[in-house]
A and B are shown apart, each in its own frame.
Chain A
Amino acid sequence: MPLSQDEVRRIAQLARLTLSAEEERLFAPQLSAILEYVALLDELELEGVEPMTHALASGEAIPLREDLVRPSLEVEEALANAPAREGACFKVPRIIE
């Protein structure tokens, strides 16, 4: 099932990824080839097979920790890598026009 460049553009929008025209041209056949390959799974009869929904071996139960208040990152540490900030907040471009 080959992907068209329009579909590639639509997926990129869903992924919040701006692609150049060249990337769109490149990805359409590359992604199509990969999708064609994974269609190999279609030959398997999977009716009634349980999906492996978590990877922990042999259904091991993982205990939940107690729900306690603990120290977390200081505000200044959390903001230290921010590309833009204002006061104790991350600053982003305008959201509402």
Chain B
Amino acid sequence: MSPRPSFELSLIELSRRLEARDISSREVTGALLDRIERWDKKLGAFLLVTGERALKDAEAADARARRGERRGPLDGVPIALKDIFLTRGIPTTAGSRILQGFIPPYDAAVVERLASAGAVLLGKLNMDEFAMGSSNENSAYFPCRNPWDLSRTPGGSSGGSAAAVAARLAFGALGTDTGGSVREPAAFCGVVGLKPTYGRVSRYGVIAFASSLDQVGPLARNVEDAAAILEVVAGRDERDMTSSTRAVEPYRTQLEGGARGLRIGVAREWLEAGVEPGVQRRVREALSTYEKMGAALVDVSLPHTKYGIAAYYLIAPAEASSNLARYDGVRYGLRSKGDQGLRDMYGETRRQGFGPEPKRRIMLGTYALSAGYYDAYYLRAQKVRTLLRRDFDRAFERCDVVAGPVAPTVAFRLGEKVNDPLTMYLADVFTVTCNLAALPGLSLPCGLHPSERLPVGLQLIGRPFDEATLFRAGRALERELGELPAPPGLSDEVP
């Protein structure tokens, strides 16, 4: 039997072998770049591959390893970033034409932290334009596909991040999650994805979508890998004033606590009609597995769940319309010729630069914030957030985590929902509540759909800043069920 190819290792396994110098970062980085070259034409996960930079990073990491100066578990590990994180000197587009050719003059806080930890940057990953979408079809460049079935979407908006990790083109990735944009693609692609508590990770240098909801989160092949990435990127950064001063817990040392004694809240509203039967079955089986492992299932109620989407699609577009006002053709990005002065230039630049989804959301948000409508829309939606948060506060009096599906279906087909924005929005029903209530949420694979053979995701939502319990609970299930295999077709042949 030939040894497992390096790209099949988990992030932590790779890290151990780099530490032991059984393998070099140069070697594994080169292997991944070859793999990206070979597979990504089909997949479309990368908007930009930074091969030269990656090999240089890798050589520096190898030199540190030789001197016995490794900087921790991520040193020499090839990872990739959603193209929403500013990278100094490396083009960053947010999946939009309006930022085509934009070269950031500084790094996002999380990019700095990954670089200090020695991580190797493979490139920038595909996404829905300005993180607006649930299928990656809103990328202004090209759609990304699901490695389990190339006719399906990888989910979105961090679709490239989930696809790259699932297809073994990177050992981990960062995405952003405003209404489910890490968790939904993680579920569709069969990887682990976390939306941390609002305030856990700095958004400095992250292109803003909806500032009261946006968070940065890791995507990885397993729970421990995700925990290792969060440990590096989380923590106070005074350049993002919403970043919390709470100390970052050592998540990895608490991973193996098991499920015994854990109280898992099961929300009736989350397993009712609307969840596709095969998805429902896998989620219920995961809950039974927890019970067998000694966890207690507790009935809880989240009665305001059904208002989540409505509140979200007022708040997120309102904040987006404000955040996207900066794309005006003056300081960076596209500028179109407007023949009739400044206002014409603004209007034309934004007409040519934005795709349909950002335009729709700018319109919706502008309307919701316009004179006479603020109280009826934005303010009401903010009150609904309070009600959603209270639902969870009440639930957490009786349980430690709330469990349910990530999405009502498995990955859908490209083109299936693209002409019907409202239907696309409704797929976010189980993920948006977590952002609205500012809570942490973990998406982890709980098996393949019984007939469609596509990954199903279980969602665990925790108390504020209790990512440790989510990781522990996630790890317990992962140990019991085993990790998903690599998607068929992409793992059979060694490049």
Contacts and interface: CB of A to CB of B under 8 A. Distances in A.
A95 B341 contact: yes
Interface string A77-94: 110111110000010111
Interface in B329-370: 329-335, 338, 341-348, 350-351, 354, 356, 359-360, 362-364, 366-367, 370
B338 A93 contact: yes
B313 A8 contact: no
Prevailing SS type, chain B contact patch: helix
A12 B325 CA distance: 12
Contact of B341 (A16, A26, A49, A93): A93
| Interface residues on chain A, size class | 35 or more
B422 A44 contact: no
Contacts, number: 173
A53 B382 contact: yes
Contact of A62 (B241, B421, B436): B241
Contacts of A80: 103, 105
Contact of A50 (B338, B347, B386, B438): B386
Contacts of B331: 78, 81-82, 90
Nearest to B366: A15
A68 to B, nearest CB: 11
A80 to B, nearest CB: 6
A83 B334 contact: yes
B446 interface: no
B425 to A, nearest CB: 8
Interface string A14-52: 111111100100110011011101111100101001111
A82 B363 contact: no
Contact of B330 (A26, A27, A83): A83
A12 B245 CA distance: 41
A41 B321 CA distance: 21
A94 B342 CA distance: 6
Contacts of B385: 51-52
Contact of B381 (A34, A41, A94): A41
B244 A92 contact: no
A1 to B, nearest CB: 10
A45 B339 CA distance: 50
Interface stretch (B37-45, B55-63, B182-190, B304-312): B304-312
B360 A30 contact: yes
Contacts of B364: 31, 34-35
Nearest to B306: A40
Interface in B169-217: 197-199, 212-213
Given A51-B386, A80-B103, 20 more contacts: A16-B325, A17-B363, A18-B351, A19-B359, A35-B364, A37-B310, A38-B314, A38-B381, A44-B383, A49-B386, A55-B213, A56-B244, A57-B439, A57-B464, A62-B244, A73-B105, A83-B330, A83-B334, A92-B345, A95-B342
| Top-9 shortest CB links A-B | A57-B464, A51-B382, A18-B347, A83-B335, A81-B332, A52-B385, A18-B351, A15-B366, A77-B105
Interface of A: 3, 8, 11-12, 14-20, 23, 26-27, 30-31, 33-35, 37-41, 44, 46, 49-58, 60, 62-65, 73, 77-78, 80-84, 90, 92-95, 97
Interface of B: 101-103, 105-106, 197-199, 212-213, 238, 241-246, 306-307, 309-311, 313-314, 321, 325, 328-335, 338, 341-348, 350-351, 354, 356, 359-360, 362-364, 366-367, 370, 377, 379-387, 389, 421-422, 425, 436, 438-439, 464-465
